[in-house]
């Protein structure tokens, strides 16, 4: 993957290329990548830091997998990735390796009594075997300590490039088996970074990374702001707002080919793109007819339909899962509040939020039953959750400058933008508000996360 520094005002689109799922990585390419990582701060990895406790987490032991036929790959340490994913979910308390009294490699080696005494409920063992040139076989088994029985077991074929994704799939299987909820570890996030270059002008980047922060790739670099990344429901494209032409326009960017299309460059505001779950429509904010309003663009023929036409600010559209109504922010009652509007002709917006005088930036849960949003009171802006059915509201974070909530595709967590000691960072909170983790980029400011659908 090439990283190209832009010259002057013109931004460069860095093509991610076809995502190299099956191509073997040669040593030379690895060295180049290493060089790129060392010399380009933009490729710094998101570091995950756990900042809140893990009350009620399930004890589990993931024994380091045995590697045979070749060395353990430090960058694709399968059992370490599984452990890290389960820990990050907030629902598991993995036993640290130094506390493991035994490290069984086969079912026959497992002494269930010892593990019961250690208070571990679930045990994962596995191995990674190099069986050919850059060809691996990965196997894992999940055991229930109390019954002494195997609960789950899978094997996979992989190469050095796909090993991390396999590890995330393993974590997803374990998570779903033990919690009943599908995992969201084999997913990616898109986000915007802003870094002050030497010379003082900030450089903006749209980046995509694995949800654990690995494999960051830059899709766009620009000396002008980039905003509002929104992942399409099929995971193939990202919509965003770019000011690269001196004014805001909405682009659709194919993440596999790097090709992109400018779909909205009307006079005034072109903002807030949102893909309908059925993939047919993009909602957007346009002010071309005199005032910021919500419009719908059909992806088949690019035709526009105006949805709101109130003199107030109407923006930040978010779709309900049936693609038949949207939630949006409107100042029509004086201050920003959330409203829901059916797409049926003649429908009127129904106000959803009544507490406080600033409620904006909705993200709808995958099951459509709750909305994460930004709730402001005084100088403090926090992420809150609204139940559609009961209309009750719960704040999930402490602020003071939390924004851009994005639901995980399994509805279990909400990614959002926060501030830590003056630096913009990403953070994640579980929907019950109990578990919170911070993800920190090593350099620069990170914001506006968007979570991909499951791969």
* CB closer to other proteins, 225 vs 368: 225
At residue 76's C-alpha, the angle toward residues 33 and 121, to 5°, is 155
Q: Does residue 287 bind other proteins (CB under 8 A)?
A: yes
* CB closer to other proteins, 165 vs 190: 190
Residue 187, Cβ neighbours under 10 Å: how many? 21
Q: Does residue 448 bind other proteins (CB under 8 A)?
A: yes
Strands (E) located in 145-291: 149-158, 188-196, 202-210, 217-222, 226-231, 237-242, 249-254, 260-264, 270-275, 281-286
Token duo for residue 180: 């009943």
Give the list of residues 6+ apart from residue 79 with CB closer than 8 angstroms, or none.
62, 63, 64, 65, 124, 126, 167
- Torsion, Cα 435 436 439 444, to 10 degrees, reads 180
Stretch that binds other proteins, among 57-65, 164-172, 180-188, 397-405 (CB under 8 A): 397-405
* CB closer to other proteins, 288 vs 438: 288
* CB closer to other proteins, 84 vs 329: 329
Task: Let me know: does 312 contact 326? Beta carbons within 8 Å.
Answer: no
Q: Does residue 96 bind other proteins (CB under 8 A)?
A: no
- Give CA 13 to chain center in angstroms: 22
User: Nearest-CA neighbor of 336 among 322, 315, 321, 366?
Assistant: 315
Task: Single out the residue of 71, 199, 246, 346 in contact with other proteins (rule: CB under 8 A).
Answer: 246
Task: Single out the residue of 3, 67, 243, 266 in contact with other proteins (rule: CB under 8 A).
Answer: 243
Task: Scan residues 99-158 and list those touching other proteins (CB under 8 A).
Answer: none
Q: Which residue has the tokens 């374990």?
A: 174
Whole-number Å distance between alpha carbons of 305 and 26: 51
Q: Does residue 244 bind other proteins (CB under 8 A)?
A: no
What is the nearest approach in angstroms of other proteins to the Cβ of residue 310? 12
Q: Does residue 11 bind other proteins (CB under 8 A)?
A: no
Answer left, alpha or beta for residue 391, where phi above 0 means left and psi between -120 and 50 means alpha.
left
* CB closer to other proteins, 187 vs 337: 337
Q: Does residue 43 bind other proteins (CB under 8 A)?
A: no
What is the nearest approach in angstroms of other proteins to the Cβ of residue 269? 6
Stretch that binds other proteins, among 4-12, 79-87, 162-170, 372-380 (CB under 8 A): 372-380
Q: Which residues bind other proteins (CB under 8 A)?
A: 225, 227-228, 243, 246-248, 268-269, 271-272, 285, 287, 292, 313, 315-316, 329, 331, 335-336, 358, 360-361, 374, 376, 379, 381, 401, 403-404, 419, 422, 448
């Amino acid at each position: 993957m090439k990283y190209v520094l832009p010259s002057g005002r013109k931004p460069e689109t860095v093509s991610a290329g076809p995502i190299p799922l099956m191509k073997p990585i040669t040593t030379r390419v690895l060295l180049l990548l290493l060089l790129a990582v060392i010399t380009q701060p933009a490729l710094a990895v998101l570091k995950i830091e756990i900042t809140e406790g893990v009350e009620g987490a399930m004890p589990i032991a993931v024994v380091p997998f045995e590697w045979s036929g070749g060395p353990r790959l430090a960058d694709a340490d399968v059992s370490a990735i599984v452990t890290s994913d389960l820990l990050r979910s907030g629902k598991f308390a993995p036993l640290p390796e130094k506390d493991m009294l035994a490290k069984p490699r086969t079912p026959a080696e497992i002494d269930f009594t010892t593990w019961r005494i250690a208070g571990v409920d679930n045990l994962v063992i596995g191995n990674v075997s190099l069986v050919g040139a850059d060809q691996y076989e990965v196997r894992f088994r999940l055991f229930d300590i109390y019954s002494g029985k195997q609960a789950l077991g899978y094997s996979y074929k992989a190469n050095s490039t796909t090993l991390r994704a396999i590890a995330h799939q393993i974590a997803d299987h374990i998570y779903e088996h033990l919690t009943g909820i599908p995992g969201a570890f084999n997913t990616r996030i898109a986000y915007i970074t802003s870094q002050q270059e030497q010379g003082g002008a900030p450089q903006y980047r749209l980046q995509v990374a694995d949800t654990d922060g690995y494999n960051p790739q830059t899709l766009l670099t620009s000396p002008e702001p980039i905003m509002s990344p929104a992942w399409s429901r099929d995971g193939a494209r990202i919509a965003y707002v770019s000011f690269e032409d001196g004014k805001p326009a909405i682009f659709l960017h194919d993440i596999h080919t790097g090709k992109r299309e400018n779909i909205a460059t009307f006079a005034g505001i072109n903002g807030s793109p949102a893909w309908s779950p059925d993939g047919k429509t993009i909602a957007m904010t346009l002010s071309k007819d005199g005032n910021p309003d919500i419009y719908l663009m059909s992806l088949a023929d690019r035709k526009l339909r105006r949805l709101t036409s109130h003199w107030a600010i109407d923006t930040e559209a978010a779709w309900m899962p049936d693609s038949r109504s949207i939630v949006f922010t409107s100042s029509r009652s004086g201050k920003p509040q959330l409203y829901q509007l059916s797409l049926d002709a003649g429908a009127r917006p129904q106000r959803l939020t009544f507490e406080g005088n600033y409620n904006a930036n909705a993200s709808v849960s995958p099951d459509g039953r709750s909305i994460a949003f930004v709730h402001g009171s005084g100088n403090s802006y926090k992420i809150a959750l609204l139940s559609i059915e009961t209309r009750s509201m719960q704040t999930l974070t402490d602020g003071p400058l939390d924004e851009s909530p994005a639901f995980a595709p399994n509805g279990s967590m909400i990614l959002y933008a926060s501030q830590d000691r003056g630096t913009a960072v990403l953070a994640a909170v579980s929907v019950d508000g109990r578990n919170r983790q911070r993800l920190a980029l090593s350099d620069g400011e990170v914001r506006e996360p968007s979570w991909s659908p499951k791969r």
